[in-house]
Amino acid sequence: MTDDAAPALPKSLAEIREDFLALSESERLQLLLEFSRELPDLPERYAAAPGMLEKVEECQSPVRAFAEVSDGVVHFYATAPQEAPTTRGFASILAQGLSGLTPQQVLDVPEEFPLQLGLTRAVSVLRLNGMAGMLTRAKRQVVEQLAAA
């Protein structure tokens, strides 16, 4: 039903979406859990000063994230506690899906991407709002950095 939006989706995000949709609903939870384990550690400069990352208020868990533009490429960094695996999974999807894209590609990611992963029943739309919040903020951070450049 959302296939109309598909062409605009960068390959990295499209592959993640296909991986989720190829699974049954309960297996999708396991895949999200795998993503949560793969959330990369913060680079040293952020690990030393987590205040540089922005708190994502939409998530009930204390997650901090930042989309950094350097040399025309976006990198997405996030940190969330081990006891918030869903939030870590969301952040990890964006870290793998957004990192390496151009700023314009990030800005073109459809807002409803989190709802396209087939998780609305197993995880709930309410919780997916947390990922939507991270995505919205990442876009704003990219815009701000482009404006300042």
Q: Min. distance of Cβ 149 from another protein in angstroms?
A: 21
145 is a site residue for another protein (CB under 8 A): no
Could you say which of 9, 39, 85, 109 contacts another protein (CB under 8 A)? 85
127 is a site residue for another protein (CB under 8 A): yes
Could you say which of 5, 10, 61, 73 contacts another protein (CB under 8 A)? 61
CA distances to 22, 31, 35 from 19, in Å:
5, 9, 12
111 token code pair: 């807002």
Residue identified by tokens 């695996």 is 85
Euclidean distance between CA atoms 42 and 44, whole angstroms: 6
122 is a site residue for another protein (CB under 8 A): yes
Could you say which of 16, 98, 117, 123 contacts another protein (CB under 8 A)? 123
Nearest to 16 by CA among 119, 105, 87, 86: 119
57 is a site residue for another protein (CB under 8 A): yes
CB 93 within 8 A of CB 12: no
Size, binding site for another protein by CB under 8 A:
29
